[in-house]
Amino acid sequence: MSTVLEQIEQQIAKLSSKAVRKNTGVIRTVADGVAKIDGISDVMYNEMVQFPGGAIGIALNLEQDEVGCVILGDISGLKEGDEVQTTGKLLSIPVGKGLLGRVVDALGNPVDGKGPIESRENYPVEKIAPGIIERKSVSQPLFTGIMAIDSMIPIGRGQRELIIGDRGTGKTTIAIDTIINQAKINKVGLASGDKSFRPVYSIYVAIGQKNSNIVRTLGALEAAGALEYTVIVAAPAADNPANQYLAPYSGASVGEWFMENGMDALIVYDDLSKHAVAYRQISLILKRPSGREAYPGDVFYLHSRLLERAARLDGKGSLTALPIIETLAGDVSAYIPTNVISITDGQIFLETDLFNQGIRPAVSVGLSVSRVGSAAQIKATKQVGGKLKGELAQFRELAAFAQFGSDLDAKTKAQLDRGGRIVELFKQPAFNPVPIEQQVVTLWAISKGYYDSLEIKKVTAAAVSLREFFSTRKDTLLTEIRTKAALDKDLEAKIKTAMDEWKSSYSA
Amino acid sequence: MAAPKKQIQQLARQLFAMSLAEGRLSAERVVAVLAYLEKNPPAQPIAVLKAYYRLVAAEYAKGQAVVEHAGPIAGNLLASIEVSMSQRYQRPIVAVAKENPALLAGLRVRVGDDVYESSVANQLAGLSV
């Protein structure tokens, strides 16, 4: 009781008799999550507007006679004639390490029932991206743990790499695998005591997803021990479109805190197609002119200003972005996909046909590209995997011919066999990222023909056995590969010895 | 066919512009505009009048300081508020007193969209949040 009285006395002592100036307006209409307001003559674009009952709005339409505000939160208590006031502030979100392991909404409020967020700083949700001078070129690798990607479509820290494909092709799985891999690398790196090690913190932004999907993702991250390095910003399908519109920007603000404080972060936007749809809904309700496919004219800017915030900064950290776009019937030439493809530094294209054939991850090597390329690869991966993309391209060409005829020369058969083995090797189960040193030994084995005597169908099992052998009995060798990051003659000789040992004991 | 909202707003703004004399609202001109509208009603006259009324009311409110108070106020308070607000907004402002016991004590002064709050009720509302 005395504590409550003390708190009340402290609050009363803070009261001031100074007059406070407010700029006010009156709600004229409220419909579909948008309020039209008379007055608030001082309001600025994107300013927060305070509604009765604690709801907040963002002023998005400043017209001659009225202001259009999208309302974040519960609108059920609002009515025509209610007074609103400007706040003089832009929308901001709490940031910092206190968000790690937590699930928050687009405004930074916790929704996981684990209590308030500990945060000392707030960052604005809308922020101008870093300029040219502040940036540094991408040269540090970000390992996804997916062999097909790390060897042929490598991603670097500060890059924007789009994950694009039809529904159910494994886009989210690739993103989650990447997050889980960062957590695994973080644990090993931090335990090693290496002072130059830079952990990667992850932010997963769920936009317009089903709540059940978000719970499943949360469970997968928790089970893999990745949640302690991850922030989840959730704007599910049940949220109003304004929250879905803001969630990616809120996530970017969280990531920028890490970047500007000398740390590296990864952000996944899942997915930007739903983000564009939410923005379209808001724009149509605000009576903004619509363009192609009823999207507003600035839908390109919607994504460009978001993705430009991912960068590598000179003297600071980096923010790597993995935006996800869902296509319909594999159409990458549609409006939103082409917009985002032109913004990002490459794309990972997932095909339904490959997925149905059992090739998972269903990465189309021919259509996928990383514009950063080998600058983001360690030397060891370049040494063992440099030729794979070309070999797979030849395989695809020959495979088209092979289905028509049965009389093939020995060279063609060998190329087909080799391509088939590489395709089989890149198959990987979900939520099972492979550390880069294990990828190196796996690819070294195929480059030296260790799988040539095996049936194509048995290559995957052999690769799993190989990695298990190395992780249980040749851990020091793997550590050496990881720390050296390049294969010299001495290291190759050690790998060969270990490989021969495995081969002699392995039976398919 | 109903006139689109934009045209109604445009017409109302034009009528409002005609109601100003030297940048300030003129009662005579407002009467003249209304007389004209009576003789020559536009399409959707009610909508036009509503839009015109909003503009005139907003402009009128800018020239008036509504001083809400709880309990008696000093005689020269209204005059001093008039002087300070006129200085602040660089236009003549007339102070009008309005009793509002809900304030409990203190004042609330409203000039157009701006509200200067120094009431006990507002401070107590801040505590409850």
Interface mutation target, options B109, B113, B117, B119, chain A, most CBs of A under 10 Å: B113
Beta A200-207 vs A230-235: how paired, if at all? parallel
Q: Do A19 and B58 touch (CB under 8 A)?
A: no
DSSP annotation string for A110-163: B-SSS-----SEEEESS-PPP-STTB----SEE--S-HHHHHHS-EETT-B-EE
Angle (CA) A209 A213 A216, round 5°? 150
What pLDDT, in 10s, does the model give residues A412-434? 888 888 889 999 999 999 999 99
Q: Do A64 and B54 touch (CB under 8 A)?
A: no
Count of pairs with CB atoms under 8 A, one residue in A, one in B = 53
Burial of B26 (0-12, 13-18, 19+ CB in 10 A): middle
* Nearest-angstrom CA–CA distance, B53 and B50: 5
* Nearest-angstrom CA–CA distance, A246 and A105: 10
B44 and B2 Cβ atoms separated by less than 8 Å: yes
A122 and A92 Cβ atoms separated by less than 8 Å: yes
The predicted pLDDT at position A463 comes to 94
Residue B63 pLDDT greater than 70, yes or no: yes
Beta A162-165 vs A318-326: how paired, if at all? parallel
| Shortest CA distance from B116: residue in chain A | A21
Nearest Cβ partner for B113 among A8, A41, A54: A41
Give residue A394's pLDDT band: very low, low, confident or very high (50, 70, 90).
confident
The predicted pLDDT at position A44 comes to 94
Assess A10–B contact: CB distance below 8 Å, yes or no: no
* Nearest-angstrom CA–CA distance, A465 and A473: 12
Interface mutation target, options A4, A21, A43, chain B, most CBs of B under 10 Å: A21
Write out residues 212-251 of A within 8 Å (CB-CB) of B. Answer: none
Say which amino acid occupies A381: T
* Nearest-angstrom CA–CA distance, A33 and A301: 23
Give residue A212's pLDDT band: very low, low, confident or very high (50, 70, 90).
very high
What pLDDT, in 10s, does the model give residues A89-115? 999 999 999 999 999 999 999 999 999
What pLDDT, in 10s, does the model give residues A360-374? 999 999 899 999 988
* Nearest-angstrom CA–CA distance, A225 and A230: 10
Among all chains, which residue has been given the structure tokens 């296509």? Answer: A327
DSSP annotation string for A321-368: EEEEEE-STT-TTSHHHHHHHHHSSEEEEE-HHHHHTT-SS-B-TTT-
The predicted pLDDT at position A38 comes to 92
Write down the H helix ranges in A426-488: 436-447, 459-473, 475-484
Residue B16 pLDDT greater than 80, yes or no: yes
Distance between B9 CA and the closest CA of chain A, angstroms: 8
The predicted pLDDT at position A404 comes to 66
What are A467-471's contacts with CB under 8 Å, separation 24+? A467/A434, A467/A438, A467/A441, A467/A442, A469/A498, A469/A501, A469/A502, A469/A505, A469/A506, A470/A438, A470/A441, A470/A498, A470/A502, A471/A438
Nearest to A57 by CA among A79, A22, A77, A86: A86
Give residue A439's pLDDT band: very low, low, confident or very high (50, 70, 90).
very high
The predicted pLDDT at position A400 comes to 74
- Token pair, residue A424, equals 């089989």
Whole-number average pLDDT of chain A: 92
Say which amino acid occupies B113: D
A345 and A159 Cβ atoms separated by less than 8 Å: yes
Mean pLDDT of A103-128: 94
Q: What is the ipTM of this complex?
A: 0.85
Give residue A406's pLDDT band: very low, low, confident or very high (50, 70, 90).
low
Torsional class of B110: left (φ above 0), alpha (ψ -120 to 50), beta (otherwise): beta
Burial of A301 (0-12, 13-18, 19+ CB in 10 A): exposed
Mean pLDDT of A352-365: 94
Assess A38–B contact: CB distance below 8 Å, yes or no: yes
What pLDDT, in 10s, does the model give residues A8-66? 777 777 766 678 899 999 999 998 889 999 999 999 999 999 999 889 999 999 998 89
* Nearest-angstrom CA–CA distance, A216 and A210: 10
The predicted pLDDT at position A340 comes to 97
Assess A68–B contact: CB distance below 8 Å, yes or no: no
A450 and A442 Cβ atoms separated by less than 8 Å: no
Number of C-alpha atoms within 13 angstroms, CB side, residue A151?
32
| Shortest CA distance from A54: residue in chain B | B129
Give residue A206's pLDDT band: very low, low, confident or very high (50, 70, 90).
very high
The predicted pLDDT at position B128 comes to 60
A90 and A124 Cβ atoms separated by less than 8 Å: yes
Residues of B in contact with A12 (CB under 8 A): 127
Nearest Cβ partner for A21 among B58, B116, B129: B116
Residue A2: C-alpha distances to residues A6, A12, A438 (Å): 6, 15, 62
Q: Do B114 and A40 touch (CB under 8 A)?
A: no
| Shortest CA distance from B106: residue in chain A | A17
Residue A369: C-alpha distances to residues A138, A270, A331, A496 (Å): 15, 20, 17, 32
Residue A247: C-alpha distances to residues A92, A113, A207, A252, A452 (Å): 12, 19, 7, 9, 49
Nearest to A420 by CA among A391, A390, A387: A391
Q: Do B113 and A42 touch (CB under 8 A)?
A: yes
* Nearest-angstrom CA–CA distance, A183 and A180: 5
Residue A399 pLDDT greater than 70, yes or no: yes
Among all chains, which residue has been given the structure tokens 């929704």? Answer: A111
- Token pair, residue A495, equals 């790998």
Assess A85–B contact: CB distance below 8 Å, yes or no: yes
* Nearest-angstrom CA–CA distance, A380 and A481: 8
* Nearest-angstrom CA–CA distance, B98 and B67: 6
Q: Enumerate residues 6+ apart whose C-beta is below 8 A from A106.
A: A72, A233, A235, A239, A243, A244, A246, A247, A250
| Shortest CA distance from A25: residue in chain B | B113
Q: Do A41 and B112 touch (CB under 8 A)?
A: yes
Give the alpha-carbon dihedral of B98, B101, B106, B107, to 10 degrees.
Answer: -30
The predicted pLDDT at position A417 comes to 86
**B62: number of Cβ within 10 Å:** 18
